[in-house]
């Protein structure tokens, strides 16, 4: 009789231990499943799909702070290309300058007004002159806000008989503003000034 009771008690402890092991295993599996589900949802939220030319392109969202140097450099490059790329066409000049002025404050507007008043743009049109710019580098200091920048570039002034080459260095600072279609990077150039703009050579056209 005691032997039967002992066997029943051992069997009960075995079943109870096995049941507890199964329960712990199920809880661990459930917790792991929930964790992976949240992780998967979080990764999905960071994905952005962009429709371009009828194709869905996948991109990843990231913190703005991670991309400040890259976006700031591209903002400065875009502004300088728009402001200094000129052709002997009044509409082209107005279009480029208008786009450029969305990216900067009144310091750029004052320079534009001075050039216009001095007949610079009229001379471009009447002389059939084109001007292009090649950005060598853009240095951004993100240690302090507003972010200071320096832009180093070369200008080509293309005339009928020659191409003048000029060295251009400008400085300014970048302030955060709201993003828009006219200002996709969300920066505004402030206190923009030209440090150097000198001739470095003339090449005769054949």
- Is 7 exposed, middle or buried (CB count within 10 Å of its CB: 0-12, 13-18, 19+)? exposed
Please tell me the predicted confidence (pLDDT) of residue 127: 92
Chain mean pLDDT for the chain: 85
Q: What is the mean pLDDT of residues 146-157?
A: 96
- When pLDDT is averaged across residues 185-199 and rounded to a whole number, the result is 94
Query: What's the half-sphere exposure (Cβ side, CA atoms, 13 Å) at 78?
Result: 21
Mean pLDDT for 164-170 is 96
Q: pLDDT tier at 100 (50, 70, 90 boundaries)? A: very high
Please state the pTM of the whole predicted model: 0.70
Q: How much is the pLDDT for 50?
A: 58
pLDDT confidence tier of residue 2, bands split at 50, 70 and 90: very low
Q: Is the pLDDT of residue 52 over 60?
A: no
- Which pLDDT score is estimated for 44? 54
Task: Assess contact for 78 and 104: CB atoms under 8 A.
Answer: no
- The yes-or-no verdict on residue 65 having pLDDT over 80 is no
> How many whole angstroms separate alpha carbon 130 and alpha carbon 159?
7
Q: Of the ranges 45-49, 123-127, 155-159, 188-192, which one carries the lowest mean pLDDT score? A: 45-49
106-150: per-residue pLDDT in tens?
Answer: 999 999 999 999 999 999 999 999 999 999 999 999 899 999 999
Greatest C-alpha distance within the chain: 120
Average pLDDT over residues 71-92: 95
Alpha carbon distance 76, 82 (integer Å): 10
SS3 content of the chain, % helix, strand, coil (to 5): 45, 35, 20
Give the per-residue pLDDT at 36: 72
């Amino acid at each position: 009789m005691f032997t039967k009771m002992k066997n029943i008690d051992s069997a009960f402890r075995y079943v109870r231990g096995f049941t507890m092991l199964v329960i712990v295993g199920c809880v661990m599996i459930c917790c792991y499943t929930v964790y992976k589900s949240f992780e998967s949802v979080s990764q999905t939220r960071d994905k952005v799909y962009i429709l371009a030319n009828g194709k869905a392109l996948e991109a990843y969202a990231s913190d703005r702070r991670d991309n400040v140097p890259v976006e700031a450099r591209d903002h400065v490059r875009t502004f300088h290309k728009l402001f200094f790329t000129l052709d002997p066409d009044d509409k082209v000049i107005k279009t480029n300058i208008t786009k450029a002025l969305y990216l900067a404050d009144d310091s750029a507007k004052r320079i534009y007004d001075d050039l216009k008043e001095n007949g610079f743009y009229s001379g471009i049109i009447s002389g059939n002159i084109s001007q292009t710019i090649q950005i060598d580098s853009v240095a951004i200091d993100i240690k302090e806000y507003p972010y200071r920048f320096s832009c180093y570039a070369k200008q080509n002034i293309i005339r009928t008989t020659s191409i003048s080459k000029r060295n251009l260095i400008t400085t300014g600072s970048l302030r955060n503003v709201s993003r828009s279609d006219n200002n996709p990077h969300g920066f505004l150039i402030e206190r923009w000034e030209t440090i150097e703009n000198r001739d470095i050579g003339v090449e005769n056209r054949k």
